[in-house]
């Protein structure tokens, strides 16, 4: 795994990008989050509950995307942020493969088939595509899926180990804290698996089993309370709560996209990547055909995942989201396919083992495999001959994975190789199959590509004393603003306060057409032109009418844009490269001084009366009068200094909830005879 990541360019000072994309969530979101956490703890000696750098400030620790409560994230205190993220990526892919191997071995797979399953999952194209897109939180959570299933398997065995409850709760907590959204799919899969194991094990005693499950759930809830309690407290304030059915169904798979199961989309879109390796797919189908009753559960889960991933293109997702509107928070239904990315390699391991140990002796089956080999060779040769002009030759060579796996199946059927060598051969084909496409899904890029180009603009804004900056064209990237500590009025983050979204729209003259993860929103008025992402950002809001007075109330001192702006109150200061820098003359004479992430002083040089929005919202306490309502608000003209501190009640309530839940679990354990 380390060799593969280094091969695609993920060195110590690089971040992952999709090869054909200009942007990556690793640079826009994860790297700035890691930088902010590192500085808050090491420089300010504070737990960051608030971040003032995007969207005029927003809660930091309570935002699951920031990973404050995910234990591995704290390694950033020891390592530079880029190296930290790359090491975490490597570590979690290794954890994913190792977890698959451990679970597979526990359920009966022999070493080589278990190796096949581990490689198939750790190098699953959907996982590697997530790395390329910078969706590192999805990779983190997916790494714990097989460990969670292994823990469930132990807990529902005839003689569960004494630590089975704690182990299951611990892996569930790591999955949840890694990514709240993806963990839901893991928990549902684990619950279905638990029911399956329960009904198959007659030795389990109902009462004790229920107590174990309840104890695990209570401990899991306690370990994760620091994340879900603040989320519940903020739920009503977030814009995500207003998601419509269509907005929640973003990127839903269309029926025709299932052709991607057979043909690897080299360099393809990450959200719609369904390819698991044609060799993996063939072996998985073989396992289901050879052991239909024993492996029926996984076939049922696969069908359910396929139906759900189609979103509003199929009745299942639509019906569930109409009955349970809260499910709309889990937008982008195809992310459920990460469960299939786990199950299919597991089934492929069983297919390899069954073929190696008990070759098929039915004539029809043998003829079918011969046809598979012949058809695969024809498709491979035809693709190489006809598509080499439009596709890279390396992409067309991937089509030979089908005849390769069929050839080993033939060797197994006719008993030409010993079982262990056959299983190793299957593992090798699967590895080459998935790695062949993986290398087209991610590439590492240096800081001089995603950070350094913004240095002249950022240094100018720092020297100009910018209090807060707005860019209608994303001319100052989020990672640059984080690195040079320049507060932004806008930003990129799905965790948004709905009142601020409305206020921002009024100030910048851009109304989102529904839910948007960016402020301002970007709409392509002419999709037929096929603009690149940077071209869209540079022109989408050029006709918007800014309101410098409202921007002044939010302490926006500068506007930077890829296009010229005509607005009373904005004065052109300079031009840096292709970026126009405007100064807002409607700024009040107010200064913000931050003392770490959670404390701020608002000060004026003369009495000021009027509406002043120092931060976007949140729960703040006036240090002089603790019962004073939090910011923002109307400033009293007779006062020239205000000291505010972010209310840490969410942390204390979370810890109280955690202690109560874990104590309740301990009480159940004691009452049940400390089993």
What confidence tens digit (pLDDT) does each residue in 288-308 have? 988 999 999 999 999 999 999
CB 188 within 8 A of CB 320: no
Find all residues with CB under 8 Å of 140, minimum gap 6, and list them: 67, 70, 72, 88, 92, 178, 179
Q: Would you state the pLDDT for residue 630?
A: 47
How is residue 585 annotated by DSSP?
T
Strands 469-470 and 491-492: unpaired
Question: 150, exposed or middle or buried, with CB in 10 Å at 0-12, 13-18, 19+?
Answer: buried
CB 190 within 8 A of CB 149: yes
CB 369 within 8 A of CB 355: no
Q: Is the pLDDT assigned to residue 84 strictly greater than 70? A: yes
Phi/psi of residue 28, nearest 5 degrees: -75, -35
Query: Who has greater pLDDT, 277 or 531?
Result: 277
What confidence tens digit (pLDDT) does each residue in 551-580 have? 998 999 999 999 999 999 999 999 999 999
Q: Which two tokens stand for residue 656?
A: 């109280």
C-alpha span between 330 and 328 (Å, rounded): 5
Closest-CA residue to 265 (of 384, 132, 125): 125
Q: Which two tokens stand for residue 115?
A: 């190796």
Element (H, E) at 558: strand 558-561
Q: Is the pLDDT assigned to residue 382 strictly greater than 50? A: no
Q: Is the pLDDT assigned to residue 402 strictly greater than 80? A: no
Q: What is the DSSP string of 79-148?
A: S-HHHHHHHHHHHHHHHHHHHHHHHHHHTT--HHHHHHHHHHHHT-HHHHHHHHHT-HHHHHHHHTHHHH
Q: Would you state the pLDDT for residue 511?
A: 87
Q: Would you state the pLDDT for residue 269?
A: 78
- Say what the alpha-carbon torsion angle 362, 363, 364, 365 is, to the nearest 10 degrees: 50
Q: Would you state the pLDDT for residue 56?
A: 92
Q: Would you state the pLDDT for residue 385?
A: 46
Find all residues with CB under 8 Å of 427, minimum gap 6, and list them: 112, 113, 115, 116, 119, 352
**Sorting pLDDT into bands at 50, 70 and 90, what band is 158?**
confident
Query: Who has greater pLDDT, 538 or 444?
Result: 444
**Sorting pLDDT into bands at 50, 70 and 90, what band is 539?**
confident
Find the range with the poorest average confidence among 1-5, 156-160, 214-218, 619-623.
619-623
Spell 448-475 as b/e; 16+ CB within 10 A means b: eebbeebeebbebbeeeebbbbbbbbbb
CA-based angle 638:640:645, to the nearest 5?
Answer: 115
What confidence tens digit (pLDDT) does each residue in 166-181 have? 999 999 999 999 999 9
Decide: helix, strand or coil at residue 270.
Answer: coil
Find the range with the poorest average confidence among 104-118, 140-154, 199-213, 219-233.
199-213
Q: What is the mean pLDDT of residues 437-448?
A: 91
Element (H, E) at 193: helix 180-200
C-alpha span between 154 and 313 (Å, rounded): 38
What confidence tens digit (pLDDT) does each residue in 310-324 have? 999 999 989 999 898
Closest-CA residue to 440 (of 270, 257, 256): 270
**Sorting pLDDT into bands at 50, 70 and 90, what band is 379?**
low
**Sorting pLDDT into bands at 50, 70 and 90, what band is 529?**
low
Q: What is the mean pLDDT of residues 503-529?
A: 83
Mean pLDDT (the chain) is: 86
CB 226 within 8 A of CB 654: yes
C-alpha span between 32 and 29 (Å, rounded): 6
Q: What is the DSSP string of 9-73?
A: T--TTEEEE-TT-S--HIIIIIHHHHHHHHHHHHTT-S---EE-SSTT-EESTT-GGG-TT-GGG
- Say what the alpha-carbon torsion angle 536, 539, 542, 547 is, to the nearest 10 degrees: 40
C-alpha span between 232 and 139 (Å, rounded): 25
C-alpha span between 508 and 524 (Å, rounded): 17
Q: What is the mean pLDDT of residues 587-607?
A: 84
Strand partners, 592: 602
CB 671 within 8 A of CB 650: no
Q: What is the DSSP string of 458-489?
A: HHHHHHTT-S-EE-TT--S-HHHHHHTT--BS
Q: Is the pLDDT assigned to residue 626 strictly greater than 50? A: no
Query: Who has greater pLDDT, 626 or 665?
Result: 665
Q: How far apart are the first and last CA of the chain?
A: 40
Phi/psi of residue 231, nearest 5 degrees: -65, -45
C-alpha span between 247 and 514 (Å, rounded): 7
Q: What is the mean pLDDT of residues 458-481?
A: 95
C-alpha span between 479 and 472 (Å, rounded): 16
Q: What is the mean pLDDT of residues 512-526?
A: 83
Q: What is the 3-state secondary structure (H, E, C) of 383-445?
A: HHHHHCCCCCHHHHHHHHHHHHHHHHHHHHHCCCCCHHHHHHHHHHHHHHHHHHHHCCCCEEE
C-alpha span between 610 and 617 (Å, rounded): 17
Spell 583-621 as b/e; 16+ CB within 10 A means b: bbebbeebebebebbbbbebebeeebeeebbbbbbbbbb
Q: Would you state the pLDDT for residue 634?
A: 44
**Sorting pLDDT into bands at 50, 70 and 90, what band is 378?**
very low
Strands 443-446 and 518-519: unpaired
How is residue 658 annotated by DSSP?
H
Q: What is the mean pLDDT of residues 351-377?
A: 63
> Tokens 């506007």, residue?
559
How remote is the C-alpha of 403 from its chain's centroid? Answer: 35
C-alpha span between 184 and 340 (Å, rounded): 14
Query: Who has greater pLDDT, 675 or 7?
Result: 7
Closest-CA residue to 311 (of 338, 333, 284): 333
**Sorting pLDDT into bands at 50, 70 and 90, what band is 266?**
low
Highest mean pLDDT among 356-365, 379-388, 458-467, 585-594: 458-467
C-alpha span between 532 and 525 (Å, rounded): 13
Q: Which two tokens stand for residue 340?
A: 């299939």
Q: Would you state the pLDDT for residue 349?
A: 95
Q: Would you state the pLDDT for residue 140?
A: 97
Q: Would you state the pLDDT for residue 620?
A: 79
What confidence tens digit (pLDDT) does each residue in 476-493 have? 999 999 999 999 999 999
Q: Would you state the pLDDT for residue 78?
A: 96
Q: What is the mean pLDDT of residues 129-142?
A: 95
Decide: helix, strand or coil at residue 575.
Answer: strand
Q: Is the pLDDT assigned to residue 638 strictly greater than 60? A: no
What confidence tens digit (pLDDT) does each residue in 423-440 have? 899 899 999 989 988 888
C-alpha span between 524 and 443 (Å, rounded): 27
Q: Would you state the pLDDT for residue 372?
A: 54
pTM of the model as a whole: 0.92
């Amino acid at each position: 795994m380390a060799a593969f990541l280094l091969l695609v360019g993920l060195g110590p000072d690089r971040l992952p990008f999709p090869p054909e994309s200009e942007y990556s969530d690793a640079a826009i979101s994860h790297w700035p989050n890691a930088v902010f956490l590192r500085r808050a703890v090491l420089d300010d000696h504070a737990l960051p509950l608030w971040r003032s750098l995007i969207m005029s400030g927003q809660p930091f620790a309570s935002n699951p995307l920031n990973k404050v409560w995910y234990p591995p994230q704290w390694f950033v205190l020891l390592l530079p942020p880029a190296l930290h993220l790359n090491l975490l990526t490597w570590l979690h892919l290794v954890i994913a493969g190792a977890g698959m191997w451990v679970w597979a071995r526990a359920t009966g797979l022999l070493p080589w088939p278990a190796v096949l399953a581990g490689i198939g999952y750790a190098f699953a194209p959907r996982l590697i595509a997530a790395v390329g897109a910078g969706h590192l939180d999805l990779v983190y959570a997916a790494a714990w899926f097989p460990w969670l299933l292994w823990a469930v398997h132990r807990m529902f065995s005839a003689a569960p180990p004494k630590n089975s409850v704690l182990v299951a709760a611990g892996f569930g907590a790591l999955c949840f804290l890694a990514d709240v959204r993806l963990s839901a799919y893991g928990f549902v899969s684990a619950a279905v698996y638990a029911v399956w194991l329960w009904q198959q094990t007659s030795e389990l005693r109902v009462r004790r089993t229920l107590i174990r499950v309840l104890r695990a759930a209570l401990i899991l809830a306690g370990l994760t309370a620091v994340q879900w309690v603040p989320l519940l407290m903020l739920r009503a304030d977030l814009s995500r709560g207003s998601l419509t059915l269509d907005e929640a169904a973003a990127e839903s798979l269309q029926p025709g996209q299932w052709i991607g199961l057979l043909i690897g989309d080299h360099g393809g879109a990450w959200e719609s990547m369904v390819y698991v390796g044609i060799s993996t797919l063939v072996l998985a189908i073989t396992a289901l055909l050879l052991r239909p009753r024993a492996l029926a559960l996984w076939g049922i889960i696969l069908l359910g995942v396929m139906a759900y991933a189609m979103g509003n293109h199929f009745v299942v997702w639509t019906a569930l989201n109409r009955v349970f509107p809260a499910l709309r928070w889990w937008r982008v239904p195809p992310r459920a396919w990460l469960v299939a990315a786990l199950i299919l390699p597991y089934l492929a391991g069983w297919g390899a083992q069954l073929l190696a140990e008990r070759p098929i002796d039915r004539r029809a089956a043998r003829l079918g495999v011969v046809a598979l080999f012949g058809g695969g060779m024809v498709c491979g040769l035809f693709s190489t001959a006809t598509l080499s002009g439009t596709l890279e030759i390396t992409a067309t060579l991937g089509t030979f994975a089908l005849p390769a796996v069929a050839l080993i199946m033939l060797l197994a059927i006719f008993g030409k190789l010993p079982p262990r060598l056959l299983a190793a051969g299957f593992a090798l084909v699967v590895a080459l199959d998935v790695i062949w496409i993986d290398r087209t899904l991610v590439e590492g890029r240096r800081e001089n590509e995603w950070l350094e180009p913004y240095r002249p603009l950022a240094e100018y804004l720092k020297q100009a004393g910018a209090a807060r900056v707005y860019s209608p064209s994303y001319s100052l990237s989020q990672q640059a603003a984080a690195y040079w500590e320049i507060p932004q009025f806008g930003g990129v983050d799905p965790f948004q306060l709905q009142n601020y979204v409305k206020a921002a729209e009024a100030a910048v003259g851009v109304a989102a057409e529904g839910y948007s993860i960016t402020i301002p929103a970007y709409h392509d008025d002419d999709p037929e032109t096929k603009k690149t992402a940077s071209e869209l950002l540079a022109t989408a809001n050029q006709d918007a009418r800014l309101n410098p007075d409202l921007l002044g109330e939010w302490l926006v001192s500068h506007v930077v844009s890829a296009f010229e702006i005509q607005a009373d109150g904005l004065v052109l200061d300079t031009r840096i490269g292709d970026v126009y820098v405007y100064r807002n003359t409607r700024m009040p004479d107010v200064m913000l001084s931050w003392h770490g992430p959670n404390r701020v002083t608002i000060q004026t040089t003369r009495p000021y009366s009027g509406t002043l929005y120092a931060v976007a919202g949140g729960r703040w306490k006036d240090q002089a009068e603790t019962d004073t309502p939090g910011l923002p608000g109307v400033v009293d003209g007779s006062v020239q200094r205000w000291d505010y501190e972010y209310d840490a009640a969410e942390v204390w309530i979370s810890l109280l909830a955690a202690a109560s839940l874990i104590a309740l679990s301990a009480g159940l354990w004691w009452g049940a005879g400390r089993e």
